[in-house]
Amino acid sequence: DDTVQGLIAQTKNERMAYDSYRRLINMFGDVVMGVDHEYFEEILDSVKKKKGVKLDTELDVKGLKEVVEGYKNLVREKAGKPFPNEPLEQLRMAIDAVFKSWNIPRAITYRKLNKIPHDLGTAVNVQTMVFGNMGDDCATGVAFTRDPSTGENKFYGEYLFNAQGEDVVAGIRTPQPINEAENSLEKLMPELYKQLYAIRGKLENHYADIQDLEFTIQNHKLWILQTRNGKRTPAAAVKIAVDMVEEGLIDKKQALMRINPSQLDQLLHPTLDPKAKKNVIGKGLPASPGAAVGKVVFNAEEAEDWVHKGEKVILVRTETSPEDINGMHVAEGILTARGGMTSHAAVVARGMGKCCVAGCNALNVDEAKGKATLGDVTVSKGDFLTLDGSSGEIILGQVGTVEPKLSGNFGTIMQWADEVRMLNVRTNADTPHDCQVARDFGAEGIGLTRTEHMFFDADRIKAVREMILSKNVEQRKKALAKLLPMQKSDFKGIFKVMQGLPVTIRLLDPPLHEFLPKADKEIEELSREMSVPKAELEQKIENLMELNPMLGHRGCRLAITWPEIYEMQVQAIIEAACELKKEENLDIVPEIMIPLVGHVNELAYLRKLTEETANAVIAQKGVDLKYVVGTMIELPRAALTADEIATQAQFFSFGTNDLTQTTFGLSRDDAGKFLPEYIDKGILACDPFVSIDQNGVGSLIQIAKEKGRKVNPDIKLGICGEHGGDPASIEFCHNVGLNYVSCSPYRVPVARLAAAQAVLKNS
């Protein structure tokens, strides 16, 4: 309180002093003493209502004194001790709070300021303040040297008169634009805006990157508080990188390194269909571009729960805070009633690449009742909303979407990446549609076609089940003959789209029981359809069941006992290639991949079967067709004996999903129950099914590569597990010396950029 009186005496501004004091109690109480911000907001709102004002800037000194007293009582009640008035005590507690936020034990934070350990670096920066809340000739704001949402090269920011920096970013008040508006800083304080604009150019030229700067105006004097590289949306990152190369600020290599490959994935998903009908019920600020469709929820916990149950959600909040991060992460999009383009919701959403509409002032959110109103429209929990983060439109119901296309700046970045990278990038695709999507995104072939996915269609599953339930080889071949033209048609469709690019086709992998029904009702239906007694059918299903099917009768083991399955698939592959070569002169070289090999003799047996079948078809068709036979390395024994297996394989494809399972002894289907705890407790740095475990699984890949190439220097090596789209795993594959990675269609651009960055990081 003595400090407040001193501030009044120095500034001759009693209102500013009490306004600053209440802000200190609020922020210090929240960040340092653990009193939730919302409690302070309730007190402030109560006093404003009592005084008949809408904004805190309209409170007079008497009102602010009431707020201060309310804040002090709140801290005493919630924190169990009074708000500290001694400045050094405040400073000590603030330093402790900083260290605690970094998980540094309290015991080493030291009580005396001059004894902070040097190895902790500059832990706390203490400096004098300037005040933007001293009157109408004061202001505070946040600005970006370029538009952080679109990347457009124009000065962009927001400000508030008679306010402090927290007011702009906290979403409590909706700020005004710094330029291009009647109430902008450019119009109302033109001289100071010119100074700010000139500083914008100096900062960007110096740092050669978009800058996020904070400023305060005190008594008509401009102060720059800080600058840092600005967060930006993925679309903005691409545009800024290309533009800065053209402007001569950076070179192509720097541009490639400026973009986070993982974020590219967010640019490749659908946007709203411009032709679709839209019931627009409101509009906010277009805080983060893109489109989002989902069911409304009103808090982060609901968002997580609903998403866990398989729902897609829109998180609707009055304003967001750091406590909402997990909910924002799982939500399709975020909608807030308060806040501007630099509010918490906007900045975090842009960093995540999430669609966000912020500052919809007409939106009233009642979390307790699970509803929100926009004008005369009420939206309840579970109702569908669609957000357009590019226009700020809020749309009732679900709106259709359209697929994105690579062009313009994105295409330029991809071209630059292709000029640098050494790894080829293929895709995992099982249908002509997926193949076309991948080709449009720059895929250079298919690294994995899962043939079992073709068996589950309604018009095929009956023939598959007939094959499984056959009592002898003749019956089984008869059923497989029904599948042959279907499989051939599938392969022709894929080969046509890929136009001679390499296509790796994995022969049937999963255990046969996966194709049979499990529910009693479904078993009865199958019994009637196939004229097989239900009891006999149940006995067959029971005979096929295994205690651990992923390590059971599947993959190459299935073909060794039932070779006619692979004979049919190879025949379909080769017939499709031969016919297309005749009909359309496509030069196709099928890559036939045999899964789950653990011993060279398995591959030797099945390669012989494959070649006999393929050569017979080629001779019968009278076509000169080349093909190759290889295997998946997905068992530790295969990796450790790769020199033996390489004598029978023309290529290896590392199936890193199964290789991770069998190396760790983890089930992908069950590990989700405990792996999060491993990550949270630091036992594992990351989920090994997301990013390759380089010390364990990676060592097996390295061993297999060295042994395989020692025997067969020309052997082609790649990976086709989900890790093929993970940037860290791609860098590992580059460093190991693989030929290609294969990933899902939408991650192809991610892989192209990550492969280029791997070269630049290691050059």
Active-site positions read 344, 720
Confirm if 43 and 73 have CB atoms less than 8 A apart. Answer: no
Angle ∠(59,175,299) on CA atoms, nearest 5: 90
Q: Which of 427, 407, 414, 393 lies closest to 497 in space, CA to CA?
A: 427
Q: Which two tokens stand for residue 375?
A: 């004008």
Pairing mode of beta strands 279-283, 393-396: antiparallel
Alpha helices by DSSP H, listed for 32-60, are 37-51
Confirm if 319 and 172 have CB atoms less than 8 A apart. Answer: yes
- Long-range pairs for 69-75: beta carbons < 8 A, 24 or more residues apart: 70/43, 70/46, 71/22, 71/25, 71/26, 71/29, 71/40, 71/43, 72/25, 74/29, 74/35, 74/39, 74/40, 74/43, 75/25, 75/29, 75/33, 75/35
- From residue 334, alpha-carbon distances to 107, 331, 555 in Å are 40, 7, 44
- From residue 390, alpha-carbon distances to 39, 154, 290, 336, 404 in Å are 34, 17, 6, 15, 14
| Distance linking the first and last C-alpha atoms of the chain | 60
Angle ∠(437,509,464) on CA atoms, nearest 5: 90
- Residue in this structure with the two tokens 């990347």, named with its chain if needed: 151
- Residue in this structure with the two tokens 């627009």, named with its chain if needed: 280
Pairing mode of beta strands 740-743, 716-719: parallel
Q: Which of 422, 431, 435, 419 lies closest to 456 in space, CA to CA?
A: 431
